[in-house]
Amino acid sequence: MPHTDAPRMSIQTEERLESIDPATGEVVGRVRTTPVEEIPRRIAAARSAQVAWGSLSPRARAEILKGAAAGLLERSDEIGTLATREMGKPLAEGRGEARHGARSLVESLDEIAESLEPIERRDRRTVSRLRFDPLGVATVVTPWNFPVLMPQESVLPALVAGNTVLFKPSEETPLTGEAWAAPLIEALAAAGHPDVMQVVHGDEAQGKALVRGDVDLVVFTGSRAAGEDILQAAGSGLKRVVLELGGKDPLIVLDDADLDAAVAFATRNCFRNAGQVCVATERIYVHAAVVDGFTERLVTSAQALRQGAGTEEGVDVGPMVNARQKTNVVAQIEDAVRRGARRLLGEGAAPGNFVPPTVLAGLDHSMPIMREETFGPVACVMAFEDDDEAVRLANDSPYGLGGAVFGSENRANAIADRLSTAMVGINRGCGGAEGTPWVGARKSGYGYRGGPEGHRQFAQVRVISAAAEQGGEP
């Protein structure tokens, strides 16, 4: 794997934001930092532009945004390569993310527009129309781990709902964010709607200025701590908030599970994107009768993964996004080992921003690695004796994003019904069928995205009622 003597992070000055390749330490590129004092003017321009944009129907807005599809598809390999260079994921995954976003754009816009069509409800006396109108100006702040799909899933429903958007990509992936946004901004300008979408670059200072500014909706994906700060800041203005926050997803493996399938899932979900995934499997609870066999297979499977720079052929696991993230992950691992955990895989220091795929056993819930979000390539395996204990352990967390249960269908479903996570997969990952929302429970989410229910959270519901033609008094 590439060696960097001094792990570096993206560097911000008053005038520019410098993006650093976490695998090599090389400068990928630079963007202009948006001065904090400029943000109120940006918000004012967005509010002015919202009047004309909001007067269009959701269908008309979706049709304008479809003008970005060809440009996004044409630039998808370039955008995906930028994602790999900026945050480290394997090139096939970076380009795959960008291509999927481009290819699904039109279908996504149609789904959002359909979700925002008026709905009629009636009873004997009253007929009501439910309208989904714009909220106004939206701030959308997105993370670095999926720098194409996260913006797409938040910006598009905000725009189709008739809001104008100030989009701040992560300071770790500013080039990817700007490249993804460019075709959308071009399509809007070509249709006579400048300032409907603007990109704001910067770090926490710019993010806070956007949240505290004169906006009506704040959409954020990121850490629980940042989400709590945003909710507090937005509360003084009674702003609408949609938050997807951290996770500590459990995987429960029953004694009647297909161990090969469970190991394959665990390998993928613990180490994909170097564990830097909101629904990464961070806690694995395995029935005591099969824990040894499961763990042995998991170690063998993880040993086969190749780590290196995402731009290298055949790489499965890239680096941490920056030195700070590596320090966090290594500290959790070393703390667990000091407290008695056994390191079955992952011995030895790795250069630069890399953390080797690691498998730990002999864990308990007194260890921070079983309670705090890790966001790194670590599989933590703990045994349980019966189904009740498995449920108790899985629910012993403030988080509640996703989870999975592997075992016979009836038994796995019975356990899934008792879990406190918002999304659970049975013998698979937690993602739902098309049209289902992406939801976080407890301290993993506030509001949600996706599907008709999620798309409508980007709009103001209005109820307009009149007397029915027949029946009693209105």
**Which residues are known catalytic residues?**
244, 278
Return the closest-CA partner of residue 162 out of 231, 198, 113.
113
Q: Which helix (H) or strand (E) holds 128?
A: strand 126-134
Residues facing 382 on adjacent strands? 285
The DSSP bridge partners found for residue 32 are 16
- Whether the CA torsion 70, 76, 78, 83 is positive or negative: it is positive
Please report, to the nearest 10 degrees, the dihedral formed by the alpha carbons of residues 167, 197, 34, 460 taken in order.
-60
Output the six-digit token pair for 313.
Answer: 């052929």
CA distances from 405 to 231, 395, 418, 422, 441 (A): 32, 13, 11, 14, 17
The CA R_g of the chain, rounded to the nearest whole Å, is: 23
State the DSSP H helix or E strand holding residue 154, giving kind and residue range, or none if neither: helix 149-160
Nearest Cα to 317, choosing from 384, 378, 248?
378
Using left for φ > 0, alpha for ψ between -120 and 50, and beta otherwise, residue 450 falls in left
Task: Give the β-pairing of 445-446 and 240-244.
Answer: antiparallel
State whether the Cα torsion 391-394-397-399 is positive or negative. negative
